[in-house]
Amino acid sequence: MSMLFSRDDFGDAFRWGVSTAAYQVEGAHDADGKGPSIWDDFVKRRRKIRNGDHGNQACNHYHRYTEDLALIYNLHIPNYRFSISWSRLLPQGIGAVNYKGVNFYNHLIDFCLELGIEPWITLYHWDLPLALQKKGGWTNRDIIHWFSYYVDCCIKHFGDRVKYWMVLNEPMVFTGAGHFLGVHAPGKRGLSSFLSAAHHAALCQAEGGRVIRSLRSDCKIGTTFSYSHIEPYRHYAEKDNVAAARADALLNRMFLEPLLGMGYPTQTLKVLERIERFMYPHDEKKLAFEMDFIGLQNYTRELATYAPLVPFAKAKLVNARKRNVAYTQMGWEVYPPAIYEALKRVDAYAGVKEIIITENGAAFQDVPDQGVVDDPKRVRFLQDHIAQVLLARREGVKVNGYFVWTLLDNFEWAEGYYPKFGLVHVDFATQRRVVKNSGYWYRDFLGNAPVSAQGDDPGMIRSY
């Protein structure tokens, strides 16, 4: 059974967009007074990035933003989410402002508005100034002051034209991958590094919101969370059910619940009690802030199993490649109902006022052929996930926006340029852009062309 729907089914107030991040697209890593970030440093380390790739040039969005915004305009995409490079604005992290960096973002914002595209800004998308990392970065409690200074600078320069602000992008990822596993910048490892960085990031996501609200009462404030729907690998096995709950507490609940005034989920994951070593009096209250919206970023579901040798969580995720299911270039299972389940879970929290899907998309191996990039798997992925968002919305979930990740094939962190997430193909040797068929599909959908996806049972998925 198929489900026929169109943009009209979401209503006129629903926001449709596309997302990028500064380090992944801008390039110009040392141009016009920009200071180095932790990613500028991390990519120099041997064997940290696939194929030795780096973001020094990336998509050269810094010099080609007018071309890229024209693409967004021609694809009828009304909202553009991007991030500000902290070290482009403040090369030392605090102190002197780099006005050439300010001018770049002013031009970017102004051209968005000229084209009728609403800018949505993410304040922190993982590129901490290296000067601050040398002082301890996220593990130094002074980051709360540094970050507040940066937020203040952004709002004073851009808040008169930008209505929508997101404080942090996926704090669980940048603290977990960057401070526990060491696979992302700054490459730190260990529980103490992770817990201190995580607590300070959680404080900053609330404090950043307070700074914005103190300066501009007319701004809409949010923050974004990675959220994978997590199930037990074997539903009949009690230990797998417990493992799934622990994984969910760590990956999905750890930053959301403190923001909502619920504290860290220590009852489910006891190791998180050790975060108290980094807490000062009244911190639990300071962790909370009433966001106008929550940015939800979903790509897949994960199956967790009991793993007694895994420290702390006693759980591990079962690789999609080993489960005989469809998966993307990232090795993530293609499972559209995951976004429906994530929306239902987050909407159930009393303190969540509105949800925006700030990232959803898929990486597949796209091959240009005579100026055409045919990517039917991505088209199906988008169709089926948007259909699941509509199902949740029809059931009363407060989801009011959907942003595709991402506009351009770009630098995908430790995976370099291998994964192709973009609606637009980029030849990185020539910087030539080619709109993929998925980009044209999104354009037509936003123009209200009807779409056929799977039926209204959230358990049903297409064959990939």
Q: What is the CATH number of the domain that holds 305?
A: 3.20.20.80
Stated pTM of the model: 0.97
Q: Which two tokens stand for residue 201?
A: 């990031």
pLDDT, one tens digit per residue, over 66-118 is 999 999 999 999 999 999 999 999 999 999 999 999 999 999 999 999 999 99
> What is the total count of domains within the chain?
1
Tell me what percent of the residues of the chain surpass a pLDDT of 70: 97
List phi, psi (to 5°) of 225. Answer: -130, 135
* Residue 330 belongs to a domain: yes
Segment 270-299 mean pLDDT = 98
DSSP 408: B
Catalytic: 67? no
* Residue 460 belongs to a domain: no
pLDDT, one tens digit per residue, over 141-200 is 999 999 999 999 999 999 999 999 999 999 999 999 999 999 999 999 999 999 999 999
Segment 364-380 mean pLDDT = 96
CB neighbour list of residue 448: distance below 8 Å, 6 or more residues apart: 6, 7, 8
Nearest to 366 by CA among 323, 418, 303, 330: 418
Residue-averaged pLDDT of the chain: 96
Q: Which domain, by its residues, includes 371?
A: 2-454
| Beta strand extents in 112-162 (DSSP E only) | 118-124
pLDDT, one tens digit per residue, over 4-24 is 999 999 999 999 999 999 999
Q: In the predicted model, is pLDDT for residue 455 greater than 80?
A: no
Catalytic: 415? no
Q: In the predicted model, is pLDDT for residue 459 greater than 50?
A: no
Q: In the predicted model, is pLDDT for residue 462 greater than 70?
A: no
Nearest to 312 by CA among 242, 246, 227: 246
* Residue 374 belongs to a domain: yes
User: Position 171: which residue type?
Assistant: P
- pLDDT band at residue 3, thresholds of 50, 70 and 90? confident
Q: Among 26, 170, 231, 333, which one carries the catalytic annotation?
A: 170
* Residue 459 belongs to a domain: no
Q: Among 257, 341, 359, 412, which one carries the catalytic annotation?
A: 359
CB neighbour list of residue 131: distance below 8 Å, 6 or more residues apart: 35, 36, 87, 91, 92, 93
CA separation for the pair 7, 307 (Å, rounded): 44
* Residue 92 belongs to a domain: yes
* Residue 128 belongs to a domain: yes
List phi, psi (to 5°) of 128. Answer: -60, 140
CA separation for the pair 287, 209 (Å, rounded): 11
Q: In the predicted model, is pLDDT for residue 461 greater than 80?
A: no
- pLDDT band at residue 274, thresholds of 50, 70 and 90? very high
Nearest to 110 by CA among 61, 166, 158: 158
Q: Higher model confidence: residue 449 or residue 75? A: 75
* Residue 362 belongs to a domain: yes
Give the model's pLDDT for residue 25: 99
* Residue 464 belongs to a domain: no
